[in-house]
């Protein structure tokens, strides 16, 4: 079932790998992108292999991942979201091979041009190609968004697990601390933190990833509270298995569903936050192309070239929209408890 | 009951102490010099030192902190930039933000609750599909993007409404015109999430036994939905709106910047940019306290709409 | 149980409303005042930044000066001619031959807005307040040469200087030297006066709602003429594109600090008038004279060769600025534009490559060298920084733009920690004001920490020589050494002052400093 789509994808990957080989060694950026893409292809191959094996051995037994896939597939929105995300991820990894121009290349003779054959979405105030910049902007937005979400997830999950599992005082302490943390308006805190730490990619990732751990910790804590009373956990405890192992082996795997759902939904929020910070001049710094700053400079040229604001704005919208669609679908498919 | 409220208000004290410490550390970590921002690039070293002494910036850090706390609670903490009491600076700006937030809230509720209910009743209809797509788009769009687009269309192109600024209180006709665009752009996010939530909670409630019973008893469909279902679906909706109040403050920071709105959000951001340390301190503590109190009110509203919850 | 709860909630709600009402009452009173006189002539001016101060002694920036110019008067005025002093509060004056004694004869019958008479005591008080270190006045430096201020009689003041100082009249004519009432300030203090300024100018301060507007109302008894305008409202609008939208939508009558593309667009609007004067402000690229590799003149020349400055200036400033080759604007004496232009470097990739290669070979510059180009959060300068960073990328230098808030940027610059920075300067038309503070060793604005004996001596000479051609030679010498020998800065553009105004505003002209002069001996702005 699922493997059919994956094989098509694999075929596409292999073809792309062959065609872009000539460009791969042009510079470091290209080489890294090429290697990441090769790794992705390899992973895809393994996945297909695994799915096939499980399908062959017990075709009658419905595994959870199979079930989830079936549920998810029925949800047209989620599939739509997933497809957009896959396309965006492909675009952002393959950016160096797709971009018709260097996103940094300026051309003072061709500033603020309307779309043409040479520049599909026109050019900006530096004469840079908007299409290439948008692609590169998606790459950066996704990269930062993913990193921040991973950090955010790790932190939130960790706190939620500890609070839920140990309960009592630890729980109280952690939850109160998070509550206090959360009562500072988050955008203010982000601005203050960036002002204190300075602008830069790393700081940006750090700041957005610590500003929203509340939701994570809360949800994970409540599912841990439920799991804690499950028979197998109690049994493990009686057997004297250390807490750390119980948490990692028995509790964490059962929290994966809400974690994935929340993380998916959070990516969108993070990308919006980063765009907001860029709008205030605190996000990604030029000359690196970033959707948020493209949008805010596009506003200065709203009557000269609408493309300058529409393209980055739509890209942000598309990314966030796709992740929200998928997140909603995953929530329905994975976890009914989370539907609030 | 009263006990519960008291307890919740008491928690405010450690929260505020924590926040004050936290923000103080951030302020002090921030590079830059309030005196230099105030006096500008031409200032001489002597003038700078004079200003630092005047605002106590030359004292050791712990003394600065206790002074700030003491002055804040005595109501003597003075903003470096405005040369006025921090609390009165904030209170002066509060109406603009509160009115904007309230207007956005009202717009969101008026639009999204009926939209959510209709979507739930006519599930999978064209209306449902369209309103849900719009709602999802609504939470995916950057709040400043909506603001600029609205301004471009309605103020610049059509010239129907003023482009930016604050024209007076919302209940004056002149002031009202200024509210429309920022309030709509701020309400977008709230609208989207409330519509989605209303729909899903109504859907959930409809499957409950008592709704079936009511239907079986022959109660009219309209009153089934409006009285029985809606009343029970209200709890999550109110929670969400309560949670979003904090989000309104956050969104207000960006909306107020776009529309040059003289509210608390922009005040706080400018204070950070201008290194007005006392004002940053005051704003953050004040806004955090507001957030905690709003949350308390939301919790209390629960008990009104759902008598099963008690806090004793 | 539920009743109790309702009670609690109602009380809380009432409390909130109370807070709202207490602030609303004041506003309501003002509102009534506005509506009662319906045919008031109100001029609304959009400004890019809210002033931090209105007390002339404390004012530190353009917008404060611009407002103060309408609330206060100075002894002499440069409002109509920025190069020549004309009478204002002082009807006439005498300067002794040595250029060290200034005697001012004040105009009689001038009253402050509160009705107090203006006398020589107020003048002495004002100037001494600026010089008093306790007030930490940003303009203190301009009055450093002052030795003594004497009140001869109620309407005569004599100022004695330690040594001749040519730009002294300019210092007196700047809005930051607006005369403040001694009695009032002594009573309420400098800070309180800052929020409730009282002057002698054409408009009285009425109200200040931070980040929203500052309102002035007319001073019927203004000594030059009764202002035609009843009210002036200044609205801070930080985003230039919003400012453009506002002037088009009619929310303001005069817009300033607009972006070139907006000016182009607005000039096609029939209901608007665009007026431009060449301004007195410069944008430039500065290099550190102390941090390696920026301190190596070859590096600075290489950057100059690498970046197509002409294209960058044209592309970013458009019609709002003209390419600059020197620090001293063409309209200010001495004009040495031709020499400077001839010695400016044109883009030349080969030469840039060669110089970078040399530096790399000597180990001064590493391949992939990472550094920041600092700029304030102003769209023009941020773009210049972006353009330079992008150009340098193709030479194997990893530059990143750090567009910082003033609060972070200024301390960094003052400490000389920025290797490359994009900054600006604006001043009055005297060569000293365009050079000494920037190029003299140890000066406050010498962000490059540049230090050169020849330049120092020339600048010191320039201050001492009064109004002679020799003075011009000194400044030419200093500029030639610093800019086309040491290349410590790359001058980018002299920016114009363009204001866009509603057609029905009459009598307004933009001033080269970007001030808004509304009532002078030659004009009295009105709305049709």
Query: pLDDT tens, B183-205?
Result: 998 888 788 888 888 888 888 77
A23 pLDDT exceeds 60?
A: yes
pLDDT of residue C8: 53
Q: Which residues does B64 contact at the CB level (< 8 Å), separation at least 6?
A: B24, B28, B56, B57
Q: Are strands C489-502 and C272-287 parallel, antiparallel or unpaired?
A: antiparallel
Q: Where are the domains of chain C?
A: 62-195, 203-277+497-527, 281-495
Q: Convert C336-362 into a string of H (helix), E (strand) and C (coil).
A: CHHHHHHHCCCCCHHHHHHHHHHHHHC
pLDDT of residue C28: 40
At B146, is the pLDDT very low, low, confident or very high (cuts 50, 70, 90)? Answer: confident
Residue of B nearest to A183 (CA): B288
Cα separation, A295 vs A302, in Å, equals: 10
* C259 interfacial to chain A (CB closer than 8 Å): yes
Cα separation, B138 vs B194, in Å, equals: 11
Q: Is B268 part of any domain?
A: yes
Using alpha carbons, select from B44, B150, A17, A142 the residue that is nearest to residue C242.
B150
Query: pLDDT tens, C276-316?
Result: 988 888 999 999 999 988 999 999 999 999 999 999 999 99
> Is C203-277+497-527 in the same CATH topology as C62-195?
no
pLDDT of residue A56: 67
A194 burial type by CB count under 10 A (0-12 exposed, 13-18 middle, 19+ buried)? buried
Cα separation, C403 vs C408, in Å, equals: 10
Beta partners for B149? none
Q: Kindly determine whether residue C240 and residue A288, on different chains, have CB atoms separated by under 8 Å.
A: no
Superfamily of domain A140-339 in CATH is MetI-like (1.10.3720.10)
pLDDT of residue C38: 54
C2 burial type by CB count under 10 A (0-12 exposed, 13-18 middle, 19+ buried)? exposed
Q: What are the distances in angstroms from CA B178 to CA B96, C102, C370? A: 11, 53, 47
Is B26 in contact with B65 (CB distance < 8 Å)?
no
Q: Is B11 part of any domain?
A: no
Query: pLDDT tens, A162-191?
Result: 888 888 888 888 888 887 777 777 788 888
Residues B139 and B232 in one domain: yes
Assigned token pair, B51? 């200003």
C20 pLDDT exceeds 50?
A: no
Query: Does the N-terminal peptide bond of residue C293 adopt cis geometry, omega within 30 degrees of 0?
Result: yes
Q: Is B312 part of any domain?
A: no
Express as a percent the part of chain C with pLDDT over 90. 53
- A-facing residues of B in 127-156 (CB < 8 A) are 136-137, 139-145, 148, 152
Residue of C nearest to B306 (CA): C2
pLDDT of residue C254: 94
Is A17 in contact with A38 (CB distance < 8 Å)?
yes
Domain count, chain B: 2
Query: pLDDT tens, B84-115?
Result: 888 888 888 888 888 898 899 899 889 988 88
Query: Which carries the bigger pLDDT value, residue A334 or residue C96?
Result: C96
Helix axes A130-166, A252-279, angle to 10 degrees: 140
Burial B118-147 (b: 16+ CB within 10 A, else e): bbbbeeeeeebeebbeebbebbbbbbbbbb
At B119, is the pLDDT very low, low, confident or very high (cuts 50, 70, 90)? Answer: confident
Cα separation, C119 vs C129, in Å, equals: 16
ipTM for this prediction: 0.82
C367 pLDDT exceeds 80?
A: yes
Residues B176 and B121 in one domain: yes
User: Per CATH, is C62-195 categorized as 3.40.50.1970?
Assistant: no
pLDDT of residue C3: 53
Residues B68 and B99 in one domain: no
Residue of A nearest to B274 (CA): A195
A338 pLDDT exceeds 60?
A: no
Q: Which CATH architecture has domain C281-495?
A: Roll (3.10)
* A192 interfacial to chain C (CB closer than 8 Å): no
Q: Is the pTM of the predicted complex or chain greater than 0.90?
A: no
pLDDT of residue A61: 57
Query: pLDDT tens, C240-275?
Result: 888 888 898 888 999 988 988 889 889 998 999 999
3-state secondary structure of C147: strand
* A239 interfacial to chain B (CB closer than 8 Å): no
At A339, is the pLDDT very low, low, confident or very high (cuts 50, 70, 90)? Answer: very low
Mean pLDDT score, C108-130: 93
Last-in-domain residue among B74, B108, B130: B74
Q: How long a stretch of residues is chain C?
A: 528
pLDDT of residue C18: 47
Q: Is B197 part of any domain?
A: yes
* B269 interfacial to chain A (CB closer than 8 Å): yes
Q: Kindly determine whether residue B142 and residue A187, on different chains, have CB atoms separated by under 8 Å.
A: no
Mean confidence (pLDDT) of chain C: 87
B45 pLDDT exceeds 80?
A: no
Q: Is B256 part of any domain?
A: yes
Residues B234 and B124 in one domain: yes
Q: Kindly determine whether residue A302 and residue C241, on different chains, have CB atoms separated by under 8 Å.
A: yes
Residue of B nearest to C6 (CA): B304
Using alpha carbons, select from A211, A213, A206, A205 the residue that is nearest to residue A161.
A213
Cα separation, A227 vs A234, in Å, equals: 10
By residue range, what is the domain housing residue B138?
A: 88-305
pLDDT of residue B291: 79
B250 pLDDT exceeds 60?
A: yes
pLDDT of residue C177: 93
> What phi and psi values does residue C505 have, to the nearest 5 degrees?
-85, 125
Assigned token pair, C301? 């020349």
At C22, is the pLDDT very low, low, confident or very high (cuts 50, 70, 90)? Answer: very low
Task: Write out chain B residues lying below 8 Å of A299, CB-based.
Answer: 148
Q: Are strands C370-376 and C420-426 parallel, antiparallel or unpaired?
A: parallel
Mean pLDDT score, C522-527: 90
Task: Write out chain B residues lying below 8 Å of C210, CB-based.
Answer: 82, 89, 92-93, 262, 267
DSSP letters, A268-290, are HHHHHHHHHHHHTT-SSPTTS--
User: Per CATH, is C203-277+497-527 categorized as 3.40.190.10?
Assistant: yes
- Read off the DSSP letter of residue C507: S
3-state secondary structure of C491: strand
**Residue that is written with structure tokens 């593309």 in the block:** C261
Q: Is B230 part of any domain?
A: yes
Residues B56 and B156 in one domain: no
Query: pLDDT tens, C37-60?
Result: 457 889 999 998 888 889 999 888
A208 pLDDT exceeds 60?
A: yes
Residues B67 and B99 in one domain: no
Q: Kindly determine whether residue A112 and residue C387, on different chains, have CB atoms separated by under 8 Å.
A: no
Q: Where are the domains of chain A?
A: 1-50, 140-339
pLDDT of residue C23: 44
| H/E element, A157 | helix A130-166
Query: Which carries the bigger pLDDT value, residue C122 or residue A304?
Result: C122
Q: Kindly determine whether residue B26 and residue A193, on different chains, have CB atoms separated by under 8 Å.
A: yes
C351 pLDDT exceeds 90?
A: yes
Mean pLDDT score, A46-52: 80
């Amino acid at each position: 079932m699922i493997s059919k789509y994956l094989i098509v994808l694999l075929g596409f990957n292999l073809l792309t790998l062959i065609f872009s080989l000539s460009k791969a060694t042009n510079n470091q950026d290209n080489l890294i992108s090429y290697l990441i893409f090769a790794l992705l292809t390899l992973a895809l191959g393994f996945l297909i292999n695994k799915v096939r094996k499980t399908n062959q051995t017990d075709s009658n037994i419905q595994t959870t991942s199979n079930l989830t896939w079936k549920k998810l597939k029925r949800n047209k929105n989620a599939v739509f979201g997933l497809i957009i995300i896959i396309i965006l991820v492909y675009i952002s990894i393959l950016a160096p091979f797709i971009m018709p121009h260097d996103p940094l290349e300026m051309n003072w003779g061709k500033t603020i041009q309307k779309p043409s054959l040479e520049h599909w979405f026109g050019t900006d105030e530096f004469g840079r190609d908007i299409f290439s910049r948008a692609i590169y902007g998606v790459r950066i937005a996704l990269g930062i968004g993913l990193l921040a979400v991973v950090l955010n997830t790790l932190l939130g999950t960790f706190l939620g697990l500890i609070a839920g599992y140990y309960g009592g005082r630890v729980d109280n302490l952690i939850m109160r601390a998070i509550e206090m943390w959360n009562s500072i308006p988050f955008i203010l805190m982000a601005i203050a933190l960036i002002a204190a730490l300075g602008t830069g990619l790393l700081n940006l990732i750090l700041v957005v990833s610590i500003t929203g751990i509340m939701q994570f910790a809360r949800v994970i804590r409540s599912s841990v509270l439920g799991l804690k009373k499950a028979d197998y956990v109690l049994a493990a405890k009686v057997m004297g298995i250390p807490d750390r192992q119980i948490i990692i082996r028995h509790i964490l795997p059962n929290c994966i569903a809400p974690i994935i759902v929340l993380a998916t939904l959070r990516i969108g929020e993070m990308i919006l936050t980063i765009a907001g910070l860029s709008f205030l001049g605190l996000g990604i710094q030029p000359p690196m192309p970033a959707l948020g700053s493209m949008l805010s400079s596009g506003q200065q040229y709203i009557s000269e070239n609408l493309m300058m604001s529409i393209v980055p704005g739509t890209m942000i919208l598309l990314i966030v929209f796709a992740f929200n669609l998928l997140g909603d679908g995953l929530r329905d498919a994975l976890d009914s408890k989370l539907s609030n | 009951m009263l006990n519960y409220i008291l307890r919740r208000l008491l928690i405010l004290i450690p929260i505020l102490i924590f926040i004050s410490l936290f923000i103080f550390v951030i302020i002090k970590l921030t590079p830059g010099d309030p005196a230099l921002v105030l006096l500008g690039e031409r200032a001489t070293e002597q003038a700078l030192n004079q200003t630092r002494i005047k605002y106590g910036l030359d004292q050791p850090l712990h003394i600065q902190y206790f002074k700030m706390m003491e002055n804040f609670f005595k109501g003597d903490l003075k903003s470096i930039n405005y040369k006025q009491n921090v609390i009165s600076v904030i209170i002066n700006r509060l109406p603009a933000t509160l009115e904007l937030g309230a207007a956005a809230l009202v717009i969101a509720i008026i639009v999204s609750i009926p939209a959510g209910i209709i979507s739930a009743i006519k599930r999978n209809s064209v209306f449902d599909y369209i309103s849900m797509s719009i709602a999802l788009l609504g939470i995916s769009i950057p709040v400043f993007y909506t603001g600029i687009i609205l301004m471009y269309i309605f103020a610049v192109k059509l010239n129907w409404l003023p482009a930016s600024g604050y024209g007076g209180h919302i209940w004056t006709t002149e002031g009202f015109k200024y509210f429309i665009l920022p309030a709509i752009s701020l309400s977008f996010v709230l609208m989207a999430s409330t519509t989605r939530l209303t729909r899903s909670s109504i859907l959930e409630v409809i499957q409950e036994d008592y709704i079936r019973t009511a239907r079986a008893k022959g109660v009219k469909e309209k009153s089934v939905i409006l009285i029985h279902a809606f009343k029970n679906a209200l709890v999550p909706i109110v929670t969400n709106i309560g949670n979003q109040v904090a989000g309104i403050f956050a969104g207000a920071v960006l909306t107020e910047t776009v529309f040059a709105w003289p509210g608390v959000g922009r005040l706080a951001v400018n204070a950070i940019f201008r290194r007005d340390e006392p004002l940053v301190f005051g704003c953050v503590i004040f806004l955090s306290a507001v957030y905690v109190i709003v949350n308390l009110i939301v919790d209390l509203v629960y008990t009104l709409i759902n008598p099963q919850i008690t806090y004793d | 149980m539920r009743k109790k709860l309702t009670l609690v909630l109602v009380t809380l709600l009432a409390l909130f409303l109370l807070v709202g009402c207490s602030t609303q009452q004041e506003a309501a009173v003002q509102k009534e005042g506005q509506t009662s006189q319906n045919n008031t002539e109100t001029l609304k001016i959009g400004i890019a930044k809210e002033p931090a101060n209105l007390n002339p002694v404390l004012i530190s920036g353009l917008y404060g000066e611009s407002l103060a110019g309408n609330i206060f008067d100075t002894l002499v005025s440069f409002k109509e001619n920025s190069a020549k002093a004309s009478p204002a509060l002082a009807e006439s004056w005498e300067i002794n031959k040595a250029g060290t004694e200034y005697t001012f004869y004040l105009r009689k019958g001038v009253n402050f807005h509160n009705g107090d008479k203006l006398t020589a005591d107020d003048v002495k008080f004002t100037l001494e307040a600026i010089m008093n270190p306790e007030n930490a006045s940003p303009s203190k430096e301009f009055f450093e040469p002052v030795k003594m201020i004497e009140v001869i009689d109620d309407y005569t003041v004599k100022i004695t200087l330690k040594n001749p100082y040519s730009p002294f009249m300019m210092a007196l004519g700047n809005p930051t030297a607006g005369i403040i009432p001694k009695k009032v300030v002594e009573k309420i203090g400098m800070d309180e006066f800052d929020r409730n300024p009282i002057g002698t100018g054409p408009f009285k301060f009425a109200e200040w709602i931070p980040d929203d507007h500052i309102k002035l109302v007319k001073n019927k008894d203004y000594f030059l003429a009764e202002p035609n305008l009843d009210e002036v409202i200044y609205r801070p609008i930080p985003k230039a594109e919003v400012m453009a939208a506002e002037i088009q939508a009619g929310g303001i009558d005069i817009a300033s600090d607009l972006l070139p593309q907006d000016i182009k667009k607005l000039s096609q609007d029939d209901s608007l008038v665009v007026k431009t004067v060449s301004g007195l402000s410069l944008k430039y690229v500065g290099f550190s004279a102390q941090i390696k590799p920026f301190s190596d003149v070859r590096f600075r020349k290489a950057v100059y060769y690498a970046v197509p400055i002409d294209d960058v200036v044209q592309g970013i400033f458009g019609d709002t600025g003209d390419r600059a080759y020197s620090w001293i604007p063409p309209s200010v004496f001495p004009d040495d534009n031709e020499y400077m232009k001839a010695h400016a470097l044109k883009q030349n990739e080969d030469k840039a490559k060669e110089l970078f290669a040399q530096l790399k070979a000597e180990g001064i510059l590493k391949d992939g060298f990472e550094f920041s180009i600092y700029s304030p959060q102003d769209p023009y300068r941020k773009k210049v920084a972006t353009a330079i960073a992008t150009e340098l990328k193709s030479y194997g230098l990893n530059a990143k733009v750090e567009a910082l808030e003033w609060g972070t940027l200024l301390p960094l610059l003052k400490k000389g920690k920025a290797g490359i920075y994009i900054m600006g300067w604006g001043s009055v038309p005297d060569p000293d004001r365009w050079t000494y503070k920037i190029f003299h060793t140890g000066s406050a604005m010498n962000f490059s920490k540049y230090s050169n004996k020849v330049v120092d001596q020339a600048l010191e000479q320039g201050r001492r020589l009064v109004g002679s051609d020799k003075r011009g030679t000194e400044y030419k010498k200093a500029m030639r050494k610093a800019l086309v020998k040491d290349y410590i800065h790359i001058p980018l553009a002299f920016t114009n002052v363009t204001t866009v105004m509603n057609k029905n505003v009459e009598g307004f002209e933009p001033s080269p400093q970007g001030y808004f002069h509304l009532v002078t001996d030659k004009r009295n702005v009105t709305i049709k």
